[in-house]
Amino acid sequence: MAENNEMAMDMEAKNQQFDEDLEEILSRLDASNYFGAREIMLKYNEVDIAEILEEVLDELGVEKVIIIFRMLPKNVSVEVFSYLPGDDQVEIINGITDREISFILDELDFDDKIDVLEELPANIVDKILDQTPKEERKLINTFLNYPEDCAGSLMTPDYISLQETMTVEEALHHIKTQGMDSETVYTCYVKHGGRELKGIVSLSALVTADSDTLVSELMHTDYVYLNVYDDQEEVAEAFKKYGFLAIPVVDNENRLVGIVTVDDIMEIIEEETTEDIERMGGVMSDDQDSEYLDIGVFKHAKNRLPWLLFMTVMLMITGTLIAQFEEVLSQVIVLVAYLPLLMGTGGNTGTQAATLIIRGLSVDEIDLKDVMKVVWKELRISIILGLVLSAFNFLKIIIIDQQSVLVGLTVALSMVIVIIFAKLIGGLLPMAAKKIGVDPALMATPMISSLTDMVSSCIYLFTASLILGIAL
Amino acid sequence: MAENNEMAMDMEAKNQQFDEDLEEILSRLDASNYFGAREIMLKYNEVDIAEILEEVLDELGVEKVIIIFRMLPKNVSVEVFSYLPGDDQVEIINGITDREISFILDELDFDDKIDVLEELPANIVDKILDQTPKEERKLINTFLNYPEDCAGSLMTPDYISLQETMTVEEALHHIKTQGMDSETVYTCYVKHGGRELKGIVSLSALVTADSDTLVSELMHTDYVYLNVYDDQEEVAEAFKKYGFLAIPVVDNENRLVGIVTVDDIMEIIEEETTEDIERMGGVMSDDQDSEYLDIGVFKHAKNRLPWLLFMTVMLMITGTLIAQFEEVLSQVIVLVAYLPLLMGTGGNTGTQAATLIIRGLSVDEIDLKDVMKVVWKELRISIILGLVLSAFNFLKIIIIDQQSVLVGLTVALSMVIVIIFAKLIGGLLPMAAKKIGVDPALMATPMISSLTDMVSSCIYLFTASLILGIAL
């Protein structure tokens, strides 16, 4: 592999270099110059090579990927494989021999192996399990049975077990004989009796302590732990909160069954964030693993349809309500020109409040008991914004549009009321959702704007009929 | 500290226990029963204690926090301090003696110390620096001078340096004498000549290798590195991509100046996500560090006003455009009832597309060169959705509203056109923003809905005048 001892590049220069190399690799592969492509690829580390293979698969198809994948050094190819997305792994598995599959699976870390097996079709999994030693087969089956998206499905059973009575020297010797080379080695677990977790001790504590210190003197017993059935969102929260590199996972009897390491959590956080953002944008997707471009148009349409149908019904009701004010509208047709302004302002101010509250709830900055603080804050904010925006609009209506003062007053007054309502709806609805156990992210733009559209148009037209003295 | 050897609780039970204990601590502190409060607090680890202190500060004020903070064991109090939010740290610093400040700062890890100094007022920083040895003062000043939000401001200079020619035994001995106990020890850095970074070697490789192996045999030279001036968003991307525990930071001459560790990155990812989500919801905040409840109402109003003013202007233009169709509207006043439907559908379908594209760009699933793929996909999706929704609306208008077929046709036809336009605007605008170097997150709901409102109302009323044969 190339050495980095030329002048250091910043991130932008590195990305540009990577893009150029990627183009060159694609064109060499397209021309079936495999050795030429391999030469450039090997300048990069395994994560980057995985990214290159993803592009090759997208652009040139699976055959070229398999040829170049087979040309990678064996140990590199296994690691590259572990960094590929699930569906790309399945495509490669389907194109290589059983012998190559076995080699890859044997070399993978246990948690990566479980991830791959979860993606593969059942008949291939059975074939693989047939060739696995009985003890490991049992363990694999246990892991495959944990519900997806829980701590049990994220953990690895590869961890270092120590005894309280060991000295540091004995502990380090034990670690050396176990010989694991991954991030799993940095926290060691001290068990009591059979499998009950007693405490944890970090490798750094062991390495920096005197050889004859006892493990029991170094271990922490106030460790943080996860339950196998804790949801992956809670797992991610625990890592964010404590900043640990690994957290032990125990079953209901406090027996240590595995550990979750921080490197697997980054992906989870990204998936959970994507889910939140999509829901806030009115998209109901059930797999955040799949990329936008890989999802078919019918699936995309299906993910978007529920919210659109809901909103259509809401907007129909709004239309029916507006139709009740036909008398006002037909007498002062110019009122129609300001309807979008009122509805849009309601939707936008409501969305702002909802966005902040949803995010605040999700990062634990806002608690359900803060509800009155939120109301009081949004009330004051909406009065400030209401005054500024309605003054601005009033002047524009009188001076530029040359409408009557009564029309200006109608718009200005209803705008203040609309903003107050919208901010309160936007602030309270996410909290109410959380209270009854519904995801607050569902109370973003689509829901808020549907509700505020309805409220805004009624407030506006009702105010108009009062100020302009038109009987309904 | 308490031991966890009772029956294991799941996350929910633990959170409930924590909330109960927190209530009890608050009520004991309120009654000035400090020893009683301390007793419960010490059941928890430093991160949890920091969370408790935050609550105490919010509920009971800074005096009680300082009393209880002083009653914590010295080593616990320093760590707790490092987990507190910046403004809470400043409040405590202002309430304790210089001697106590010096003690805390001396004990903090270097990167935490820099974080605290960045938050403190200049006169206090000067006083602290006066008492600092010259060498360290120089280093602190260098670190304080890196721009905020870049790799230089996130890194710590506390790392382990090794020589290529060391054996594993010598390397481990060197680590032991350096005696760092934090996560910084897990990757060691091999320098060449003066300070040029040559390679990295993991502590796990050292611990599991034979004592007489040379460091040069274990080290990786294809390491990933950051530049001191890389933006924190790029730093977070690198951690997400590679899953490393630490990444070395070099200056333009490839000299190692510090390392960034993964535990500091979680916060950055959270801040960057918050910024994206807020921008997508139309809030322009400049400090994602501050919590919703801690931000004053004028600041909140200021963060929300720019988008609201922009949207008001856009909605005014939409209103002026609608006024051009006064003739159509006054002849067929029922058309007004369907205006919100068309505008709402445009806004919502556009937001859905924009949300997916913005997120796809941000997690690197979508590339600028995919623009035609996005267009083609959104086009097909919008035809499917357009047909379903317009059929649904057509039937409702004819059957339930008992309107004429021509009105039904007007709404149905313009709905298909509106959805196609909205999906294309939603898909293309974020990509165009990225192309010209603007944050795609700004092209979410507020921008998209302002544009689609304008386009939708014109398409609708123009279609109406054509189908209903009314001259404009």
Distance CA A265, CA B145 (A): 32
Closest Cα in chain B to A224: B45
Q: Give the mean pLDDT of A119-133.
A: 79
- How close does chain B come to A301, measured CA to CA in Å? 6
| Structure token digits, residue A67 | 């040829």
Q: Do A380 and B355 touch (CB under 8 A)?
A: no
**Using the 8-state DSSP alphabet, how is residue A45 labeled?**
-
Residue with tokens 């907007």: A315
State residue B472's pLDDT score.
57
A186 touches chain B (CB under 8 A): yes
B472 touches chain A (CB under 8 A): no
- Give the one of A224, A254, A315 whose C-beta lies nearest to B45's C-beta: A224
A319 touches chain B (CB under 8 A): yes
| Structure token digits, residue A358 | 């949803």
- Give the one of A7, A250, A263 whose C-beta lies nearest to B243's C-beta: A263
Residue B200 pairs with which residues in a beta bridge?
Answer: B189, B220
**Using the 8-state DSSP alphabet, how is residue B436 labeled?**
T
Distance CA B128, CA B117 (A): 9
Residue with tokens 């978007």: A304
Amino acid in position A74: K
State residue A147's pLDDT score.
83
Closest CA to A117 of A136, B387, A385: A136
Residue A259 pairs with which residues in a beta bridge?
Answer: A156, A248
Would you tell me how many other CB atoms lie within 10 Å of the CB of residue A217?
12
Give the end-to-end CA distance of chain A in Å, rounded to a whole number: 80
A254 touches chain B (CB under 8 A): yes
- Give the one of A179, A225, A366 whose C-beta lies nearest to B293's C-beta: A366
The sheet that has B187-192: what strands, in order across it? B160-162, B187-192, B196-202
- Answer whether B304's CB lies under 8 Å from B441's CB: no
State residue A452's pLDDT score.
92
A391 touches chain B (CB under 8 A): no
- How close does chain A come to B351, measured CA to CA in Å? 6
Closest CA to B34 of B1, B88, B70: B70
B331 touches chain A (CB under 8 A): no
Residue B109 pairs with which residues in a beta bridge?
Answer: none
Q: Do A359 and B245 touch (CB under 8 A)?
A: no
User: What are the start-end ranges of the E strands in A122-268?
Assistant: 160-162, 187-192, 196-202, 226-227, 246-250, 256-261
State residue B3's pLDDT score.
43
In order of A210, A223, A254, B264, the CA distances from A197 in angstroms are 24, 10, 7, 28
How do residues B73-102 score in pLDDT, each as one tens digit? 888 888 898 888 878 888 888 888 888 888
Closest CA to A5 of B246, B221, B251: B221
**Using the 8-state DSSP alphabet, how is residue A8 labeled?**
P
B462 touches chain A (CB under 8 A): no
- What is the SS3 assignment for B252? coil
| Structure token digits, residue A215 | 């493990």
- Burial zone of B196 (CB within 10 Å; 0-12 exposed, 13-18 middle, 19+ buried): middle
| Structure token digits, residue B435 | 């192309």
Q: Do B392 and A445 touch (CB under 8 A)?
A: no
Distance CA A29, CA B277 (A): 40
Q: Do B8 and A349 touch (CB under 8 A)?
A: no
B243 touches chain A (CB under 8 A): yes
Residue with tokens 């910024």: B275
Interface of B with A in 139-168 (CB under 8 A): none
Would you tell me how many other CB atoms lie within 10 Å of the CB of residue A407?
21
- How close does chain B come to A191, measured CA to CA in Å? 11
Angle between helix axes B335-362 and A297-323 (nearest 10 degrees) is 150
- What is the SS3 assignment for A248? strand
| Structure token digits, residue A60 | 């040139």
B240 touches chain A (CB under 8 A): yes
- pLDDT of A399 > 70? The answer is yes
B30 touches chain A (CB under 8 A): no
Closest Cα in chain B to A250: B8
Which of B49, B115, B336 to mutate to probe the A interface, most A CBs <10 Å?
B336
Residue with tokens 């870390």: A109
* Distance of alpha carbon B20 from the chain centroid: 30
> For A27-41, b where at least 16 C-beta lie within 10 A, e where not — what string?
ebbeeeeeeebbebb
* Beta-carbon contacts of residue B467 (< 8 Å; ≥ 6 apart): B406, B409, B410, B413
B339 touches chain A (CB under 8 A): yes
Closest Cα in chain A to B178: A208
Chain A residues in contact with B241 (beta carbon < 8 A): 47, 51
Strands A187-192 and A196-202: antiparallel
- Answer whether A188's CB lies under 8 Å from A160's CB: yes
Distance CA A92, CA B129 (A): 59
Residues of chain B with pLDDT under 50: 1-5
What is the SS3 string spanning A63-107?
Answer: HHHHHHHHCCCHHHHHHHHHHCCHHHHHHHHHHCCHHHHHHHHHH
* DSSP symbols for B7-68: SPPPHHHHHHHHHHHHHHHHHHHHTT-HHHHHHHHTTS-HHHHHHHHHHHHHHH-HHHHHHH
- How close does chain B come to A134, measured CA to CA in Å? 28
- How much is the ipTM here? 0.79
A306 touches chain B (CB under 8 A): no
- How close does chain B come to A335, measured CA to CA in Å? 9
Closest Cα in chain A to B240: A266
- How close does chain A come to B23, measured CA to CA in Å? 12
Q: What share of chain B is helix, strand, coil (3-state, %, to 5)?
A: 70, 10, 25
**Length, in residues, of chain A:** 472
Q: Do B8 and A251 touch (CB under 8 A)?
A: yes
Chain A residues in contact with B208 (beta carbon < 8 A): 175-176, 178-181, 185
Low-confidence winner among A12-26, A44-58, A292-306, B170-184 (lowest mean pLDDT): B170-184
Closest Cα in chain B to A42: B222
How do residues A409-465 score in pLDDT, each as one tens digit? 999 999 999 999 999 999 999 999 999 988 898 888 888 988 999 999 999 999 998
Distance CA B15, CA B21 (A): 10
State residue A456's pLDDT score.
93
* DSSP symbols for B64-129: HHHHHHHTS-HHHHHHHHHHS-HHHHHHHHHHS-HHHHHHHHHHS-HHHHHHHHHHS-HHHHHHHH
- How close does chain B come to A328, measured CA to CA in Å? 11
Closest Cα in chain A to B272: A273
Strands A160-162 and A187-192: parallel
Q: Do A336 and B322 touch (CB under 8 A)?
A: yes
Closest Cα in chain B to A373: B293
- pLDDT of A6 > 70? The answer is no
Which of B164, B271, B356 to mutate to probe the A interface, most A CBs <10 Å?
B356
Distance CA B279, CA B162 (A): 45
Q: Give the mean pLDDT of A346-373.
A: 90
- How close does chain B come to A296, measured CA to CA in Å? 8
Which of A168, A206, A302, A352 to mutate to probe the B interface, most B CBs <10 Å?
A352
Give the confidence band of A181 by pLDDT, cuts at 50, 70, 90. low
- Answer whether A236's CB lies under 8 Å from A272's CB: yes
| Structure token digits, residue B216 | 């040069």
Could you give the angle at the alpha carbon of A238 between the alpha carbons of A233 and A244, nearest 5°? Answer: 130
Could you give the angle at the alpha carbon of A224 between the alpha carbons of A223 and A227, nearest 5°? Answer: 130
- How close does chain A come to B121, measured CA to CA in Å? 25
Residue contacts between A and B (CB atoms, under 8 Å):
422
Would you tell me how many other CB atoms lie within 10 Å of the CB of residue A89?
19
Q: Do A389 and B308 touch (CB under 8 A)?
A: yes
Closest CA to A238 of B241, B45, B112: B45
State residue A373's pLDDT score.
92
State residue A4's pLDDT score.
45
- Give the one of B202, B208, B357 whose C-beta lies nearest to A179's C-beta: B208
- Answer whether A157's CB lies under 8 Å from A110's CB: yes
- pLDDT of A346 > 90? The answer is yes
Closest CA to A386 of A338, A334, A339, A422: A422
Distance CA A341, CA A456 (A): 10
Q: What is the pTM of this model?
A: 0.79
Q: Give the mean pLDDT of A124-148.
A: 81
Q: Do A360 and B291 touch (CB under 8 A)?
A: yes
Residues B375, B379, B382, B383: what is their CA dihedral angle, to the nearest 10 degrees?
A: 180
- Answer whether B325's CB lies under 8 Å from B465's CB: yes
- Indicate the helix (H) or strand (E) that contains B196: strand B196-202
* Beta-carbon contacts of residue A290 (< 8 Å; ≥ 6 apart): A87
| Structure token digits, residue B87 | 């403004």
